[in-house]
Amino acid sequence: MTTAAETQPLPRRSVSPLSRAWAFVRRHTITVFGLLALAYLMLPIVVVIVFSFNDPAGRYNYTWEGFTTAHWTNPFGPPFLGDSVETSIKIAFVATIVSVILGTLVALALVRYHFRGRGTTNLLIFVPLTAPEIVLGASLLTLFLNLGTALGFWTIVLAHIMFCISFVVVTVRARLVGFDRHVEEAAMDLGANEYVTFFRITLPLIAPGILAGALLAFSLSIDDFVITSFNSGTTETFPLYVWSQAQRGVPPEVNVIGTLIFGVAIVLMLANVLFQYRRTPKGAE
Amino acid sequence: MTFLHHHRWLTPYLLLAPGIAFLVVFFVVPLYYLGYTSLQEGTVQVGYTFTWAWDNYSNAFDQYREQFVRSLEYAGIATVAALLISYPLTYWIAFRGGRWKNLLLLFIIAPFFVTYLIRTLAWQNILSDDGLVVNALQLLGLVAEDGRVLATSTAVIAGITYNFLPFMALPLYVSLEQIDKDLIEAAKDLYASSTKAFLRVTLPLSMPGVIAGTLLTFIPAAGDFINAELLGTPNQAMIGNVIQSKFLEITDYGQAAALSVILMVVILLLIVVYTRLVGTERLAG
Amino acid sequence: MKDPFHRTNHPITREQLLRRAAVGGVTLSLPGLLAACGGGGGIEGQQPETEATTVEQVLVDEITVSNWPFYIDQNDDATKFPTLEQFTEETGVKVNYLEDINSNEEFFGEIQAPLSRGQSIDRDIIVPTAWLCARLLNLGYLQKLDKSAIPNIVNLEDSLASPVWDPNREYSLPWQSYITGLGYDPKKVGGELTSVEQLLDPALKGKITMLDSMEDTIGLFLLEMGVDPSGEIDPTAYDEAVAKVQKAVDDDQIRQFTGNDYTGPLSKGDVWASIAWSGDIVILQADYPNLEFTIPDTGGMTSVDTMVIPTGGDVYTASTFMNFFYDPEIAAKVAAYINYITPVKGTKEAITEIDPALAKDPLIFPTPEVLENVYEFNAEAIENVDYQEKWQAVIGV
């Protein structure tokens, strides 16, 4: 039997203006913090971009002297900057293609099949991701030293492929895991054999993942410094060029190239995301 | 083709073969050579001989204990700092991001696309003794009037924190993003306050991300040398600096390799611990 | 401005200075050479010396030169090298000029592995300091010059014609000589610097750099202690000098040990005083007139950076290149910009055409007083493994 007391609504807790203000602050603190953190992350990038427009008095691009677009119109002015960029791009190209192929195959195996040695394979993929670059670079160097291999372009390529494979595997695997196999089954029901299915159905659908992996591999290769410095001999890539220039004044053109690499990577990444969006048939996810 | 049909079990191995073979040759084998070299002694003038030179190791512990400890210390502090910055940041994006999630995530990844060296050099510029930032800090009393930020351990740790922040933030984000919001709502329905809901639901569920991020940050940070080189004095030298110098300048390969092996062993121990906690399936993504 | 170069009691001629500098080549001890054949299993050590076969006198299209920074003339925005362009015009040979030598040890570390296997390092000419050239020669990594392509070799200063390690200049030719002293900003430091001790003043804590080369930094400290570093260096004296530097490191006095990279922070103002190389400061003064260079009262250090042809370099074209720079007119152009000590006779006269004031510049054409006060670090001491290890421990590796 209900009493009057039981049917009454629960008393409201009084909300004072102070606690409302506090709730407001708490709610927005995190937004403020988030924005500050993002600003902190972007600060050096902004500095790099801004100083690419600087017109320094001497060799050192430290203080703001004046605005100029001269470095942008002629980014390869400083001697051998262009050569080092070219070398970097060539290496990145080769390394990306090879590591994407090798990595995708591994990712396919890991996601779709059960096999003995799974754990070891996972470990083998994982360790290069986390190991300090210096150990990776140094061990490769000892390999090449003991075998008497000449250090140069190709040793750099081999080193880059090595660490890119793991990144590709992780990226492609993420995409494969979310992949709906029913589409493949449907194709096979319609008479396609495994290879046709793979190339006409599977591959296009996981393409964004592969592209993401390729993009990642490419940028890692272009920007790599530590492993490259151990295995390059006297060949100079763009990061090695920057390092040697740091001794005597990094020219603003380096900022220009850095900004360009950054910009291109961002654009490609956005494009890939958009591409992914449109590629996903509605309801198939 | 029919061969494969009848020997289905081969397929995963065939897929794995090229990639794994590559990793074995260029990742595992070099580690063996690293060990082999670490037991060599000699100089460039007289050549290097394998002599079971265990004193490379005892020297390493004697002479470079300071740098080892310092590396672990700096990496540890940087990891904690990265966690403290990343957690609220990624929480904000995951829970309050809404439509902007991917865009905000881009800001976290963006610094990654500017060459490591260029980023660190930018910090060298930003933290310059007479620059805006240091002057502001002096006004606020955080830095002594005649003090500096550059060429101190603070600068080095700050650099490491910045450069490895994405490694902490991304796993954290993935883990936070996957938390089922319904669980939190359920907690609140059960009269938990926001704080309690966070502590009892969100935080524990985000632990895998925290652990992954911590490992992915701490391990490479421990082997870093660029921040110490550009932002510190010889008093901040980390084990990475020693290894780099011994390999590339002094060419004392035996000692250098021994130092690298020690570093690698420490890392492997940490990975083993992590694997036990998390299981190998979770490793490669 | 007060003359930083004091008189001394023993005036010597310029020739004598340069002779002293030349003596500072390295002689590896005989046992070391013999032991070279050792090394079973593991990384290759040195290869036996290869005799140069007759050189084909054909110019290649392009040569690659590795040199120190600030060591050649440049145009205003540092994008072109006028003398190199002139060389290309006259010979049709393109020059890949890389300023990738920042420290001798570092450079050696880079080139050692391939050279030890007789492989090319993709360089036709490299310009390390004399002691490293001597080491490379003793290891068999250098090729003989084609002297028939270097008629201008007669212009080589007599005092440099015959260093101990290459008595007939078969493998090498000097590029420039330099003086190590102190580079600083008088306003920031609060006055003039006359001694290396002053760098240890607590007021300069964290604002100084020292060079990472043993011969420069320890040399100056030994001189400060009254020890002549060009003679045999007593281990106790060495240890004492090292201890001084170590203390400075421990006290956080030294910001960094550098190669040429002191020039950036010094210009920026993060660093107030450095152990520095003469010509660097003069080049910087063009944009940063507040900087000064001085040789400490107790003495400065000196040596010769020398051109050599490593394995795999094209001997004829490299020799032609060397010959070009031994023309006094060209040498004058280079000297006028970089302000180091040129080894080419006749440069003084040629330089009066460019700028008469330069002919009197004591840093390019040192006076006897200056020459008396600079020393070259003892060659054997540089190759002394014990000393090397002690020095490396100080600079933090």
- Give the count of beta carbons closer than 10 Å to the beta carbon of residue A208: 21
User: Considering only CB atoms, which chain C residues are within 8 Å of A77?
Assistant: 77, 79
Rounded mean pLDDT, C305-323: 93
Fill in the DSSP letter of residue C374.
E
- Per-residue pLDDT of C92-134, as tens digits, reads 999 988 888 888 888 888 888 788 878 888 899 999 999 999 9
Contacts of A112 in chain B (CB under 8 A): 12
The answer to whether the CB of A285 falls within 8 A of the CB of A82 is no
Question: A10-19, A57-66, C269-278: which has the minimum mean pLDDT?
Answer: A10-19
**Residue A281: predicted pLDDT:** 53
Looking at residue C119, its pLDDT comes to 83
Flag if C114 and A233 touch (Cβ within 8 Å).
Answer: yes
Q: Which residues of C touch A145 (CB under 8 A)?
A: 43, 113
Distance CA B11, CA B197 (A): 48
Structure confidence at residue C362 as a pLDDT band (50, 70, 90): confident
Looking at the predicted structure, is the pLDDT value of residue C182 above 90? yes
Dist. CA C335–CA C279, nearest whole Å: 9
Query: With 70 as the cut, is the pLDDT of residue C239 above it?
Result: yes
Judged by average pLDDT, the poorest of A281-285, B174-178, C68-72, C255-259 is A281-285
Q: Which residue of A has its CA nearest to C120?
A: A150
End-to-end CA distance of chain B: 32
| Partners of residue C78 in chain A, C-beta under 8 Å | 59, 78, 251
CB contact under 8 A, A130 and B27: no
> Which residue in C70, C119, C287 is closest to A57 by CB distance?
C287
Q: Distance (Å, rounded) from C-alpha A255 to C-alpha A50?
A: 9
Residue with tokens 């000029």: C97
Q: How many CB atoms lie under 10 A from the CB of residue A185?
A: 12
Question: What pLDDT is attached to residue B119?
Answer: 92
Q: How far apart are the first and last CA of chain A?
A: 52
Does residue A165 have a pLDDT over 60? yes
**Residue B34: other Cβ atoms inside 10 A:** 25
The per-residue DSSP string of chain B comes to: -HHHHHTTTHHHHHHHHHHHHHHIIIIIHHHHHHHHHHTEEEETTTEEEE---THHHHHHHHHHHHHHHHHHHHHHHHHHHHHHHHHHHHHHHHHH-GGGHHHHHHHHHGGGGS-HHHHHHHHHHHT-TTSHHHHHHHHTTSS-TT--STTSHHHHHHHHHHHHHHHHHHHHHHHHHTS-HHHHHHHHHTT--HHHHIIIIIHHHTHHHHHHHHHHHHHHHHT--HHHHHH--GGG--HHHHHHHHHHTS--HHHHHHHHHHHHHHHHHHHHHHHHHH-GGGTT-
What is the distance in angstroms between the Cα of C369 and the nearest Cα belonging to chain A?
A: 31
- Spatial distance between the Cα atoms of B220 and B163, rounded to a whole number of angstroms: 10
**Out of C28, C268, C397, whose CB is closest to B128?**
C268
Residue-wise DSSP of C193-213? ---GGGGG-GGGTTSEEEES-
Distance to chain C for A58, nearest Cα, Å: 5
As a whole number of angstroms, the distance between CA A90 and CA A96 comes to 10
Region A120-147 average pLDDT: 89
Close Cβ partners of B282 (under 8 Å, ≥ 6 residues apart):
B208
Question: Which residues in B lie closer than 8 A to residue A219 (C-beta atoms)?
Answer: 112-113
Nearest to B248 among C40, C110, C256 (CB): C110
- pLDDT for the residue C110: 81
Radius of gyration of chain B, Cα coordinates, nearest whole angstrom = 23
> CA-nearest residue of chain B to C254?
B233
Average pLDDT, chain A: 83
| pLDDT tens string B113-136 | 888 999 999 998 888 887 888 888
- Under the banding of pLDDT at 50, 70 and 90, the label for residue A106 is very high
Minimal CA separation from A44 to chain C, in Å: 19
Cβ contact, residue pair B249, C103, below 8 Å: yes
pLDDT recorded at residue C252: 86
Angle between helices B239-248 and A133-147 (to 10 degrees): 20
Mean pLDDT on B22-40: 91
Task: List, for residues C199-210, the tens digit of each pLDDT value.
Answer: 998 888 889 999
B42-78 residue pLDDT tens: 776 667 788 888 888 888 888 888 889 999 999 999 9
The C-alpha atoms of residue A76 and residue A91 are separated, in whole angstroms, by 19
Residue intervals in chain C for CATH 3.40.190.10: 14-24+59-177+303-364, 179-302+378-394
What integer pLDDT is reported at residue C336 of this predicted model?
A: 87
Give the tens place of pLDDT for each residue, A41-96. Answer: 999 999 999 988 887 766 677 777 788 888 888 888 777 788 899 999 999 999 99
Higher pLDDT, B86 or A12: B86
Q: Nearest-5° angle of CA A144, CA A150, CA A154?
A: 90
Q: Which structure tokens are listed for C185?
A: 């900003």
- Chain A nearest-CA residue for C288: A58
- Chosen for mutation from B6, B10, B86, B113 (greatest number of chain A CBs closer than 10 Å) is B113
Non-local (6+) Cβ contacts of B16 within 8 A are A105, A106, A109, A115, A121
Q: pLDDT value at position A55?
A: 79
Instruction: Give the type of residue at C272.
Output: W
Domain C179-302+378-394, CATH number (from 3.40.190.10, 3.90.1010.10, 3.40.50.10880, 3.40.800.20): 3.40.190.10
pLDDT at residue C208, rounded to an integer: 92
Q: Which fold has domain B61-282?
A: MetI-like fold (1.10.3720)
Query: For residue C310, is pLDDT > 80?
Result: yes
Q: Is the pLDDT of residue B15 over 50?
A: yes
Is a pLDDT exceeding 50 seen at residue C17?
A: no
From chain B, the residues in CB contact with A124 under 8 A are: 20, 23-24, 27-28
**So what's the pLDDT on residue C304?**
92
Split at pLDDT 50, 70, 90, the class of A227 is: very high
Which has more confidence, C358 or A96?
A96
Kindly identify which residue of chain B lies nearest to residue C383, measuring between CA atoms: B45
Residue of A nearest to B36 (CA): A142
SS3 track for A130-191: HCCHHHHHHHHHHHHHHHCCCCCHHHHHHHHHHHHHHHHHHHHHHHHHCCCCHHHHHHHHCC
Give pLDDT, residue C7. Answer: 35
Determine the pLDDT at residue A283.
44
How far apart are the C-alpha atoms of C258 and C264, rounded to whole Å?
11
Q: Of A73-82, B250-259, C137-146, which has the strongest mean pLDDT?
A: C137-146
CATH class for domain C14-24+59-177+303-364?
alpha beta
A251 touches chain C (CB under 8 A): yes
pLDDT digits (tens, 9 = 90+) for A237-281: 999 988 888 877 788 888 999 999 889 888 887 887 777 666 555
As for the ipTM of the complex, it is 0.84
- Map tokens 């073969």 to a residue: B17
> What pLDDT does A155 receive?
92
- Reported as a pLDDT band with limits 50, 70 and 90, residue A140 is very high
Q: What is the pLDDT of residues B191-230, one digit of tens each?
A: 777 778 888 888 888 888 888 899 889 998 999 999 998 8
User: From the candidates B68, B249, B259, which should be mutated to test the interface with C, based on the most C CB atoms within 10 A?
Assistant: B249
Q: Do A134 and B125 touch (CB under 8 A)?
A: no
Task: Please give, rounded to a whole number of angstroms, the shortest distance from the CA of A206 to a CA of chain B.
Answer: 16
CA A135 – CA B261 distance, rounded (Å): 8
Q: Are A122 and B281 in contact (CB under 8 A)?
A: yes
Distance in angstroms (rounded) separating the CA atoms of residues C241 and C238: 5
> What φ, ψ does residue B209 adopt, rounded to 5°?
-65, -40
Q: Report yes or no: A160 and A92 within 8 Å, Cβ to Cβ.
A: yes
The answer on pLDDT for C48 being more than 50 is no
Contacts of B253 in chain C (CB under 8 A): 43
Query: Which pLDDT band holds residue A11 (cuts at 50, 70, 90)?
Result: low
User: Beta strand pairing status for C125-126 and C62-66?
Assistant: parallel
Measured between beta carbons, which residues in chain C are less than 8 angstroms from residue A228? Answer: none
Distance CA B27, CA A259 (A): 32
Q: What rounded mean pLDDT belongs to chain C? A: 81
Intervals of CATH 1.10.3720.10 along chain B: 61-282
Joined tokens for residue A277: 């969006």
- Residues near C95 by Cβ (< 8 Å), separated by ≥ 6? C62, C63, C64, C65, C81, C84, C87, C88, C321
